[in-house]
Amino acid sequence: MFGWSRTRGLAWVLFYATAFQLAFLQPYVVLIPGERANLFSGLLCALSLGATCLVARKEAVGEKSPEILISLVLATLVILSGVLSLTPGSASARGFVLLASGLGGFWGARVLLNSESRQKTFVWIALILLAGMLFISLISYLKAGSVYGLLDSQTRTLGQPGYYS
């Protein structure tokens, strides 16, 4: 029983840490220099998805549920799209990020937010993240005239030439 609660706790921590990282893009880590896909965020989503899958009980998600089949079909399409692309490396990286974030969000909500109290908690956390993003955007707008400056700090900083106009 102790191992089960530790796994569930890890899934929750990863779920909320990923939500924070996706909202603020902090920390921003470049895993492959020159790759435009945000692989660090995709990796966090994939880790959160993996932890959520460890928590999922068989009675909550049946082995033959249509959701699992659709998830597998989407994964297959992403792999085929990446392999058959003119730029397979970059296309596969973008596909990985898209697939990991989509499936991580879907299965995280389906498995972890399965009660009204958990849903209410998530709504409050999402509202706090939204308020933080709005506050940072307002400060950025007042300082530089653009709402993106502080939220998109990994590419340009306030006052740097080439900053958003």
Q: What is the pLDDT of residue 58?
A: 57
Q: What is the pLDDT of residue 74?
A: 95
Provide the 10 A C-beta neighbour count for residue 125: 15
Q: How far is it, in rounded angstroms, from Cα 152 to Cα 130?
A: 15
Q: What is the pLDDT of residue 157?
A: 45
pTM, to two decimals: 0.81
Query: 102, 111, 99: which is closest to 61 by C-alpha?
Result: 111
Q: What is the pLDDT of residue 154?
A: 56
Q: How far is it, in rounded angstroms, from Cα 152 to Cα 162?
A: 13
Q: What is the pLDDT of residue 6?
A: 81
pLDDT tens for each residue of the chain, 165 residues long: 444 578 788 899 999 999 999 999 888 888 888 888 899 999 999 999 999 988 887 546 666 779 889 999 999 999 999 999 999 999 999 999 999 999 999 999 999 998 899 999 999 999 999 999 999 999 989 988 888 777 775 544 444 444 444
- As to burial, measured by CB atoms within 10 angstroms (0-12 exposed, 13-18 middle, 19+ buried), residue 149 is buried
Rounded to 10 deg, the angle between the 116-144 and 2-24 helix axes is 30
